[in-house]
């Protein structure tokens, strides 16, 4: 235990059981004393991160669709049959990836239905399914340093962010901005990363119980598992894919995943890994491609009974409408403009550290970005001045450098959209206190730091960045 407790204002008192501090600038997360969270020493020693430049490389120049346990070509022809996946920090091409068509999605769903009907997974014992899920977890654990670098390469997020997200160790090398309260909360959430999601649901599978509700008359009441459709975003490719995948597999489902065309490579490699770890062919199919084509085809496919989508609100409405035609169940995690409400009894420095983290993690490109502060008027000026100073100190640069605190925007169109939001906010009367334009001394697609003082009627108050 640490020898000093953090004073948390009443407005955040619900967190006081999770957090404590020592003499370091970051607040440590204190894990509960239970087997599912504790980290054996042998596992700690396997998570030693190299500080050298990245040597990670994708193992092939071109990736197909992953259907029925193997890579296959897309059915399209010519230039439309594949997409380039770029490093957003350099625009260097990392690999080509197949561009799935509606016919390809149909192939993937048919593969999942066939695998389910054959029963190698759907009718496997809970112990056998748990063993495979644990095998997947073990294989993931060995490759976390590799996956961290690959996630950074294809998303432009700093390697330090990805290392912190992909490991259970409470990353003391997280970002180095003096972040504290919100950093620890985020890390607590991120600790249940890829391999642990599989381990958790493997354990849950072993203890699953079923029941047959009594009905009078000659009726049979049963539950039928059918293919699950999953559409994942680019900003947390592995994390979000695994959160959706692990429980679906644990229940015996077949799953079709449509990853973002901007960052599909690690999800495809996850499909390979799962198959090599013992998951039967056809249970996990992956169809990268454009959202308007393969994503729409998946959402409206009559063979899909459940859609789990993470992405923008506009796209979410389209997915829900397409799924509604088949009365498919949907779960949505959409964009937001999360507010941070700041009372007048807070430690302002603590709030500044936490707010800077909440706003600028992943260059502000997450669905839970804390990009909107509602501040008590008595501390407004002090907080804004300190926040501007903090934001100006953030180091932009090469995402693969350990010294970089903020990476790139995922694509040129997204950067243009963000700059459009800045210009519209200025027209609405916003005061730009720092940043607001490209940094001229950096590579393409770096996002300068931005802080605003604006009123609640502005468009930026509601738009997800």
Token digits for 393?
């100190």
Is the pLDDT at 268 greater than 80? The verdict is yes
> Given this model, what pLDDT does residue 275 score?
97
- Which residues contact residue 203 at a Cβ distance below 8 angstroms, ignoring those fewer than 6 apart? 36, 130
Higher pLDDT, 34 or 401: 401
d(CA 338, CA 383): 18
Say how far apart CA 253 and CA 398 lie, in whole Å: 40
**Under a CB-based contact definition with an 8 Å cutoff, are residues 27 and 183 in contact?**
yes
CA dist., res. 408 & res. 398, Å (int): 8
CA distance 417 to 459: 14
Of 247, 185, 224, 206, nearest to 30 by C-alpha is: 185
CATH architecture of the domain formed by 339-461: 3-Layer(aba) Sandwich (3.40)
Whole-number Å distance between alpha carbons of 267 and 77:
24
Q: What share of the chain is helix, strand, coil (3-state, %, to 5)?
A: 40, 15, 45
Which of 76, 75, 72, 69 minimizes the C-alpha distance to 112?
Answer: 69
- Domain ranges across the chain: 1-31, 62-206+224-333, 339-461
Identify the bridge partners of residue 70 per DSSP, sorted by sequence position: 67
**pLDDT per residue as tens digits for the range 299-335:** 999 999 899 898 888 889 999 999 999 989 898 888 7
The C-alpha atoms of residue 381 and residue 159 are separated, in whole angstroms, by 34
pLDDT (0 to 100) of residue 365:
80
Q: Which of 59, 238, 244, 264 is nearest to 165 (CA)?
A: 238
Q: Is the pLDDT of residue 174 over 50?
A: no
Q: What is the reported pLDDT for 274?
A: 96
8 A C-beta contact, residue 291 and residue 148: no
Q: Would you state the structure tokens that stand for residue 102, as one six-digit string?
A: 């509606």
Band the pLDDT of 78: cuts 50, 70, 90: confident
pLDDT at residue number 464: 56
Q: b/e for 166-176, b at 16 or more Cβ within 10 A?
A: bbbbbbeebbe
End-to-end CA distance of the chain: 39
Choose the catalytic residue: 118, 272, 333, 434: 333
Contact 157, 239 (CB under 8 A): no
pTM of the model: 0.74
∠ at Cα 152 (190, 97), nearest 5°? 110
Active site residue 274: no
Q: Which of 278, 268, 29 is nearest to 129 (CA)?
A: 278
In 3D space, the residue among 330, 334, 308, 310 whose CA is nearest the CA of residue 320 turns out to be: 330
Pick the range with the lowest mean pLDDT from 137-146, 192-201, 305-314, 405-414: 192-201
To the query of whether residue 434 is one of the catalytic residues in this protein, the response is no
Q: Is 226 in contact with 198 (CB distance < 8 Å)?
A: no
User: What is the Cα–Cα distance from 363 to 91, expressed in whole angstroms?
Assistant: 17
What was the pLDDT predicted at 67? 97
Rounded distance between C-alpha atoms, residue 368 and residue 340, angstroms = 11
Candidates 320, 316, 322; CA nearest to 300 is 322
Q: Which pLDDT value is given to residue 257?
A: 94
Q: How many CA atoms lie within 13 A of 453 on its CB side?
A: 12
Long-range contacts of the stretch 41-45 (C-beta < 8 A, 24+):
43/141, 44/169
Q: How far apart are CA 229 and CA 21, in angstroms?
A: 42
Burial class (CB in 10 A: 0-12, 13-18, 19+), 206: middle
Q: Give tens-digit pLDDT for 374-396.
A: 899 999 999 989 988 888 888 88
Who has greater pLDDT, 84 or 393? 84
Q: What is the pLDDT of residue 240?
A: 84
Helix axes 144-155, 126-142, angle to 10 degrees: 70
Confidence of residue 362 (pLDDT cuts 50, 70, 90): confident
363/464 Cα distance (integer angstroms) = 13
Burial of 219 (0-12, 13-18, 19+ CB in 10 A): exposed
**What proportion of the chain, given as a percentage, has pLDDT over 90?**
32
Residues ≥6 apart with Cβ < 8 Å to 135: 277, 278
Q: In the numeric block, which tokens belong to residue 101?
A: 């068509």
- At 332 the pLDDT is 87
Nearest CA among 233, 99, 174 for reference residue 354: 174
Catalytic residue among 209, 367, 412, 427: 367
Residue 372 has pLDDT above 90, yes or no: no
| Range of lowest pLDDT (150-159, 217-226, 227-236, 295-304) | 217-226
Provide mean pLDDT across the span 36-48.
Answer: 31
Per-residue model confidence (pLDDT) at position 233:
64
Give the integer Cα–Cα distance in Å for 396 and 405.
Answer: 6
Over range 339-345, report the average pLDDT.
Answer: 91
Q: What is the CATH number of domain 62-206+224-333?
A: 3.40.605.10
CB 180 within 8 A of CB 354: yes
């Amino acid at each position: 235990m640490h020898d000093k407790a953090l004073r948390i204002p009443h407005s955040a008192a619900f967190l006081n059981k999770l957090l404590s501090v020592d003499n370091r600038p970051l607040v440590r997360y204190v894990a509960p004393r239970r087997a599912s969270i504790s980290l054996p020493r042998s596992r700690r020693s396997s998570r030693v991160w190299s500080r050298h430049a990245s040597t990670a490389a994708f193992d092939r120049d071109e990736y197909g669709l992953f259907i029925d346990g193997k890579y296959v070509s897309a059915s399209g022809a010519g230039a439309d049959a594949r997409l380039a996946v770029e490093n957003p920090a350099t625009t260097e091409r990392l690999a080509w990836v197949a561009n799935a068509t509606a016919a390809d999605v149909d192939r993937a769903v048919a593969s999942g239905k066939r695998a389910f009907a054959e029963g190698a997974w759907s009718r496997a014992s809970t112990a056998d399914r748990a063993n495979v899920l644990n095998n997947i977890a073990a294989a993931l654990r060995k490759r976390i340093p590799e996956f961290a670098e690959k996630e950074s390469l294809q998303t432009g997020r700093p390697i330090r962010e990805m290392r912190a997200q992909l490991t259970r160790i409470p990353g003391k090398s997280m970002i180095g901005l003096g972040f504290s309260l919100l950093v620890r909360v985020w890390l607590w959430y991120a600790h249940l990363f890829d391999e642990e999601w599989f381990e958790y649901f493997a354990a849950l599978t072993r203890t699953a119980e079923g029941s047959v509700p009594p009905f009078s008359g000659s009726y049979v009441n049963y539950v039928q598992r059918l293919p699950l459709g999953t559409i994942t975003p680019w900003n947390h490719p592995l994390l979000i894919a695994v959160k959706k995948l692990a429980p679906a597999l644990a229940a015996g489902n077949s799953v079709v995943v449509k990853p973002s065309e901007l960052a599909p490579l690690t999800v495809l490699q996850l499909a390979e890994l799962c198959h090599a770890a013992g998951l039967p062919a056809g249970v996990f199919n992956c169809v990268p491609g454009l959202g308007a084509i393969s994503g729409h085809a998946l959402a409206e496919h009559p063979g899909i009974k459940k859609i789990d989508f993470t992405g923008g609100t506009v796209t979410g409405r389209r997915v829900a409408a397409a799924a509604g035609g088949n009365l498919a169940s949907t779960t949505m995690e959409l964009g937001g403009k999360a507010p941070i409400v700041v009372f007048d009894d807070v430690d302002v420095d603590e709030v500044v550290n936490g707010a800077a983290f909440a706003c600028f993690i992943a260059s502000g490109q997450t669905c839970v970005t804390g990009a909107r502060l509602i501040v008590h008027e008595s501390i407004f000026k002090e907080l804004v001045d300190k926040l501007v100073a903090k934001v100006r100190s953030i180091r932009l640069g090469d995402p693969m450098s350990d010294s970089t605190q903020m990476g790139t925007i995922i694509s040129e169109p997204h950067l243009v959209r963000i700059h459009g939001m800045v210009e519209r906010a200025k027209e609405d009367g916003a005061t730009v206190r720092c940043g607001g334009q490209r940094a001229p001394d950096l590579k393409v697609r770096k996002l300068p730091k931005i802080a605003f003082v604006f009123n609640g009627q502005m468009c930026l108050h509601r738009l997800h960045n």
